[in-house]
Amino acid sequence: MKKFLVISAILLVVGTLVVTKNPTIRSYCGAFLSMCKKEMKTNISPEFEIERLKQEIAYLDKEVPNLVNDLAVMDQTQIQPLRTKVEKNQQNLKAHEQKLLEFAKLVKNNSSADFVFAKETFTPSRANDKLNQDFTVYQSMKGMVQNQEKLLAAKQQQYKIKLDQVKTINQTKQEFELKLAQLETDLALLRANDAKGSGADAKFDNGRITMIQEGLKNLSQQVKIMQKAEEIRGEISPPAGPQTTATPKLDPQVVLDAIQNPVKDQNSVQNSNPNE
């Protein structure tokens, strides 16, 4: 009956706080609500708290399979398709690189004469135009592949973090179940001793309840972190690929250096003078 009155009083106070605009009334209601909260915490029995924690643990039993399913969806709809795309583009880049390297050598060795490449005859002027175009395409493809590789690595890292968190949650749930079972046993023994009329003024130690409550609070924070990681994943976008400007004439040696010596290629592309 006392608990019913306390709950009714709290509902009345909350309703008053919602509708009233008088600061004095709101102050009194707020103070009364604070006192009622303390009264309820003092009168909550250990048995009631154990049942509440059982429900929280049961919720984890339902939540873990959902998290596992989310990981499976992430792997099959995001990571695997992206990995397939990256591997295919890597192969295309390698094939284009080999053809470009072969063509650049022919341009270098036939700077003043026509030559045949892939069953097609090229004059020096036409060969230089093709070399410019193919090298621009190569640099664009290379930048795209690098960006896709970074995105794939980021998604794989997110997957690993989430998987570790799910493992931790599942392990923590099992620890909760063991602690709660021991706690329930201890309480049953205390109640049995009281029933025997031992005369001892036995009081239940709420230390373990407090410990489990703190654990559930930390677990809730972990779930929020996972949700935030999901939001961050949606905000991830690959950086723009490198921009290149085709020159009227490109020295074949620059292309050779770009493929065979990437460090030297960066300097040569910036410093080369196509009119020399």
pLDDT 10s digits, 128-162: 999 999 999 999 999 999 999 999 999 999 999 99
Length of the chain: 276
Whole-number Å distance between alpha carbons of 268 and 254 = 6
Whether the CB-CB separation of 166 and 68 falls below 8 Å is answered with yes
Question: How much is the pLDDT for 205?
Answer: 57
pLDDT 10s digits, 109-131: 998 999 999 899 999 999 999 99
Whole-number Å distance between alpha carbons of 261 and 254 = 10
pLDDT 10s digits, 22-49: 666 667 666 666 665 555 556 688 888 8
Please give the structure tokens belonging to residue 240.
Answer: 């723009």
Q: Report if pTM > 0.85.
A: no
Local structure of residue 113 (DSSP, 8 states): S
With cut-offs at 50, 70 and 90, classify the pLDDT of residue 200: very low
- For 8, the enclosing helix (H) or strand (E) is helix 2-19
Please give the structure tokens belonging to residue 66.
Answer: 């959902």
78 to 14, 141, 158, 223, 234: CA distances (angstroms)? 47, 21, 11, 21, 11
